[in-house]
């Protein structure tokens, strides 16, 4: 178990969020809970001499981002909702199609987002991509120029409408934090 005492500003931020949530749900946050908000507690099997606590925190944030990505795919691709009742080949075909859709979106978004100077919200980008999927299908049937124009328009839309919230401009992204880690 690795424990890290937060700065006063971080503790106050957590406390504000916890109190707002408690108030919205109609209860008061206990003193024990308030005291625990001053700490980041991680459980890991990585030896102390291998990785610093700062790196462990970054790894946990990264893991959380992966969980959010899986949640995005589960929620918006609706993998659990398969319509091929009883017919195993139809179920597999639908599942493969959804997984291919995830790979296509992820590949396009990884490339396109690297060209955008600000952080893009994966959820907002996916919703915009899904809204334009018919346009992509038509571009694929026409010409390479139509496809280039589709991706150019998609990049512009993502740049304008799919950015993460403004408060993120002051906070380092998980990807940026990962680039800073140098684990032996």
Domain ranges of the chain: 44-180
Phi (first) and psi of residue 61, to 5 degrees: -60, -40
What average pLDDT score do residues 143-167 get?
Answer: 82
pTM, to two decimals: 0.62
3-class secondary structure for 93-113? HHHHHHHHHHHHHHHHHHHHH
Q: What is the pLDDT of residues 64-111, one digit of tens each?
A: 888 888 888 888 877 777 777 777 888 888 888 888 888 888 888 888
Asked if residues 182 and 137 have their Cβ atoms less than 8 Å apart, the reply is no
Look at residue 82 and give its three-state secondary structure.
Answer: coil
Please name which of 141, 129, 74 lies closest in space to residue 105, comparing C-alpha atoms. 129
Residue 52 has a CB neighbour count (10 Å cut-off) of 13
């Amino acid at each position: 178990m690795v424990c890290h005492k937060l700065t006063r500003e971080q503790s106050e931020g957590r406390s504000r969020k916890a109190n707002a949530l408690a108030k919205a749900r109609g209860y008061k946050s206990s003193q024990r809970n308030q005291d625990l908000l001053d700490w980041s507690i991680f459980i890991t099997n990585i030896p102390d001499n291998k990785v610093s606590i700062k790196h462990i925190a970054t790894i946990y944030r990264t893991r959380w981002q992966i969980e959010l990505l899986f949640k995005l795919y589960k929620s918006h691709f609706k993998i659990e909702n398969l319509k091929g009742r009883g017919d195993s080949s139809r179920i597999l075909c639908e599942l493969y199609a959804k997984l291919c859709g995830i790979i296509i979106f992820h590949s396009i978004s990884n490339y396109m987002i690297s060209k955008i100077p600000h952080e893009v919200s994966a959820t907002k980008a996916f919703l915009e991509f899904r809204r334009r999927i018919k346009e992509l299908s038509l571009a694929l049937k026409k010409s390479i120029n139509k496809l280039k124009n589709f991706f150019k328009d998609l990049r512009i839309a993502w740049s304008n409408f799919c950015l993460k919230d403004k408060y993120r401009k002051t906070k380092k992204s998980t990807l940026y934090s990962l680039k800073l880690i140098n684990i032996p």
